Amino acid sequence: MNSGNSLSHGIIFGLAEFVVPLLVILLALIAAAAFVWLLKRSGQTRRRAAGLIYGQQQLIQATLASIGDAVIATDSAGRVTFLNRVAQELTRWTAEEAAGSPLETVFHIVNEQTRQPVENPVQKVLREGKVVGLANHTVLIAKDATERPIDDSAAPIRDDKGRVVLPAIMKDGQWSGELTFRHFRTGAAIPVLYDLFRVDDPKTGKPINFATVTRDITERKRAEELLREREERFRALADNIPQLAWMADAEGWVGWFNQGWLEYTGTTLEENQGLGWKAVHHPDYINDVSEKFVHHLQEGLDWEDTFPLRGKDGHYRWFLSRMKAIRDESGKVVRFFGANTEVTEQRQMAEDLRMLTAELSEADRRKDEFLATLAHELRNPLAPIRNGLELIRLAGAGGEELTQTRTMMDRQLTHLVRLVDDLMDVSRITRGKIELRKERIQLAAVVNRAVETSRLLIEHMGHELTITLPTQPIIVDADLTRLTQVFSNLLNNAAKYSERGGHIWLTVERLGSDVTVSVKDAGVGIAADQLPRVFELFTQVDRSLHKSQGGLGIGLSLVKGLVEMHGGRIEAHSDGLGKGSEFVVRLPVVVEAFVPQAPGGQESTAVPKSSLRVLVVDDNRDGADSLAMMLRIMGNDVRAPYDGQQGVDLAGEFRPDVVLLDIGLPKLNGYEACRRIREQPGGNGVVLIAVTGWGQDEDRRRSREAGFDHHMVKPVEPQSLMKLLAGLNAVKT
């Protein structure tokens, strides 16, 4: 047993002696192999790490070189260690030239306005460890002396030991702190606000790194873009409106004017800003405008005013200016908006309307005065006519009394007819409807007819008339009747506006190719301020000494119109009230041989005889009966029905040679009665004469179209009617 145990132990021991060295050798070999493997692995790791670091450096270099901003890096001493491509182009320094140079040399910046050096933001970063930026109006002076306005910021970049290794980032552009990221999946651009700030160790208070806060500002950028679009639309609208627009801040400083203002005034925006706009205001109005403008600004009130503004052509035009206060949500005024609308034409129209209103008011006043005077003028001749008729009835007047009464009634009736004729003639001249029947006549014959026409009035007033004519005949191309009317009216005026027993001078004088006819009196005269108005229609010149002699205010207007139709002109002269007046007519003379006309004597007053069948149709019984009586005295066979239907019926039975037919008849008007008479057997041989109170050219035309042979205006001149009937009787016999 023991020997066995001993053997076992021996074997084990022997084995142990054998195996242990062997295990030691094996472990040593394993350890050596492991050491060799570890050494190999460590080398690979270092090479991999070095490659990774190199790749990261290359990635950073490539990134900095490819971005669109200029990037400059410095060491902690502020010496340049890196410039990307954009920074080299901006500073005109190459990376090799700039390496190791102070940043102030490469990155040389000054204030654009003062030209003073600006502290480099990198120095502040190195000193304070904060993100900083440049103030506005900073320019960079490059190596070649060129200048560029810049906006930049700087931030510290630290290594793993907290040392600053990349202290400066410089960007050209107009914003700071705003970047654009791209979505890693969609690639969509995302505007962000990028903040970089320092993180300090809470125990030591020393900076350990920098942290960033990135905020999505997509909505803000959208709002800014919307605001920009609205501003563009507003400016486009404001520059194309016809008004001159402007804006002022809450303090009243006017800083914006639209294109319309600048184009109208011919000025620049800078010339108008502040108080420069006052330069285009009229000096007579600017003080008042400024006072009101400032008051409304201070009170924050809307404002409206009208004033002239000078255009670039130097002329002033009137504008209506309105200003509106723009308020925020709290009601505080934030700005004022104003617009000026040109109202020059409107003001002129308003002024024209005012003048027209005044003229219409004056015309209405004249109308009232005219109607009152017309009533007076018509009553004057009617009264003696009625009195004369009553005298004949009551006194059985005969002989001389009858003759005087008839003469008086004839004179007054003539006056009435002249009033109506003058009214009609003025109307025709005003509408251009009057026609002259011109012929070459001696002016002396015209003057003599005018004197004969006015003689009764002149003699009735007891005036002395002196006529002066040249010895040689003067020939004019004129309408005898109308020119006689001119001089007769002037003579009548002289007689009316002179005291009884006055003196009137009618003088004809040749002046070269013209002739003047002067009618002068020593009567009441005309006030100086009324001389320019004496020829206006319905003008009642105040001749205070003789108001009872006032006329309708149509005579001189008629005279002026007729004179001008003859190619002449008329003037009025007076030294004032009580000093008489003179009217001078100037007419062109016909320079040629003249064949003297047979001297015209007075028309025969003998009553022409005729023996015709005459039908008088008039609804005015007195008018019809009196005319029938006069025609019977002439020897005619006369019937006088009083309406149109009776006239047609009686014409068929009576078979008249002549029908005197009124137009305004009852039952059947004169035009229709004329047509029906023409349709009767033998109707075409009847002489139809329209006898009416309507005497316009249009009335005469309608008479001709209805079938009338003649047109006579009431009251019918007896001599004219007698001559017409005598001529018809001669043809019949």
Question: What angle, 0 to 180 degrees and rounded to 10, lies between the N-to-C axes of helices 480-496 and 443-461?
Answer: 30
Using one digit for the tens of pLDDT, what is the confidence trace for 236-290? Answer: 777 777 789 888 888 888 888 988 899 999 999 899 888 889 999 999 999 999 8
Residue in the block written with tokens 């025969």: 604
Question: Would the pLDDT of 172 be above 50?
Answer: no
Report d(CA 553, CA 496) in Å as an integer. Answer: 13
Q: Is the pLDDT of residue 23 over 50?
A: no
By percentage, how much of the chain surpasses pLDDT 70? Answer: 66
Residue with tokens 């570890």: 38
Rounded to 10 degrees, what is the CA torsion of 535, 540, 546, 552?
90
pLDDT in tens, 682-709: 999 999 999 887 777 788 899 999 999 9
More confident residue, 191 or 578: 578
pTM equals: 0.39
Report which of 165, 140, 167 is spatially closest to residue 151, judged by C-alpha positions. Answer: 140
Question: Which of the pair, 166 or 92, is modelled with greater confidence?
Answer: 92
Mean pLDDT of the chain: 76
Tell me whether strands 254-257 and 244-249 are parallel, antiparallel or unpaired. antiparallel
b/e per residue 490-527 (b: at least 16 CB within 10 A): bbbbbbbbbeeebebbbbbeeeeebbebbbbbbbbbbe
HSE (side-chain half, CA atoms, 13 Å) at 216: 7
pLDDT at residue 225 above 70? Answer: yes
At 9 the pLDDT is 32
- pLDDT for res 548: 42
* Amino acid identity at 69: D
Write down the pLDDT at residue 32.
40
Give the model's confidence band at 411: pLDDT under 50 very low, under 70 low, under 90 confident, else very high.
Answer: low
> pLDDT band at residue 423, thresholds of 50, 70 and 90?
low
Tell me the pLDDT tens digit for each residue of 521-568: 999 999 888 888 888 876 666 544 344 445 556 778 889 989 999 999
Task: Give the pLDDT score at 335.
Answer: 87
What is the pLDDT at residue 588? 95
484 vs 488: CA distance, rounded Å: 6
Question: 570: burial class by Cβ within 10 Å (0-12, 13-18, 19+)?
Answer: buried
pLDDT at 645: 95
Q: Residues 619-637: what's their mean pLDDT?
A: 83
What pLDDT, on the 0 to 100 scale, is given for residue 25? 38
- Give the helix ranges, DSSP H, for 67-102: 85-91, 95-98
Flag whether pLDDT at 392 surpasses 80.
no
Mean pLDDT value of segment 436-441:
89
Encoding tokens for residue 257? 């004017």
Mean pLDDT computed over 591-603 = 48
Of 256-260, 345-349, 513-517, 715-719, which range is least confident?
Answer: 715-719
Tokens of 520: 């002068």
Q: What token pair was written down for 2? A: 């023991």
Cα–Cα distance, 56 to 60 (Å, whole number): 6
Residue with the bigger pLDDT between 102 and 111: it is 102
